[in-house]
Structure 1
Amino acid sequence: MAHQQDGLFPQSLLKAFSVLIFIILSKDVCNGQPQLIGPSQALVARAGDDVILPCHLEPAYDVSIKTLEWTRSSLDPRFVYVSRASQEIEKLKNPSFKGRTSLFVDELKYGNISLKISKVKFDDTGTYKCYIPEMEKEAFVELVVGK
């Protein structure tokens, strides 16, 4: 246990603790590890509209040769979109999304993994996961579809 000096921690202990906290919080940034970023609030769309589920890496990182997955755990199969090296794997996709989902392929080199869903339906409401398996990075996007 740390010894107290006049009711305060010694300055050297406080400084060491501050440095340790900084290292822990900035570990990924210092290692050059990009973070997958999604929106902080739910997206709301109207049935029949097209919607973009935002997801990107910060700092920008080329993911054009990576496996990219968009899933919704409440579905079976759970895959909304899967690509490997910029090529979509249609056979894994949930049938309700066939022909309705796409990525911005030209933007993958900048870390943009945003998913476009065309002609959204009420059944599209839910939580989507943007995931890069090789990097073990994920972000979540909540979509609410209304009238």
Structure 2
Amino acid sequence: MPQFPSVEWFEALRETVQDDPHWRDFGMMDCAMGVNVGETTIKLVFDGFEIPEIADISDSADDADLDFTLVMSPERWQEMIKNIQSNGHADLHHTLNTIDLESPEELAKGEDYNRRDLFYRFNQTLQDFFDASSSVETTFA
């Protein structure tokens, strides 16, 4: 059972969505994003309907190739993932959009606003991606 956050967890999520014929209904994405959970940062590269790269970049100071990074506390990430697993999808209070709107700080962080804007452009597809974690057995760090 993969542990969140880890490369193995995101690889299991990638397998889940890429084995799902409805993944193409979510819409194509072209972005490189980071998922920051405490001291851990995982890089995910989306290229159309593929996710060709998943890497732990926690020890790397170079995140300049990321369009944006989703940053939440480990507790907030765990709450969101558990909510998705309980409901099969995020409820109204646990979507990426709601979390972003209700947080005093932006959820998506990045130096270049045009690149960071990809979070908003692909928000629903990203939500569908995380919602697919409802079928990924998960433990938490």
| TM score, norm. by length of structure 1 | 0.28
Structure with the greater alpha carbon radius of gyration? 1
Structure having the larger proportion of residues in helix: 2
Structure having the larger proportion of residues in strand: 1
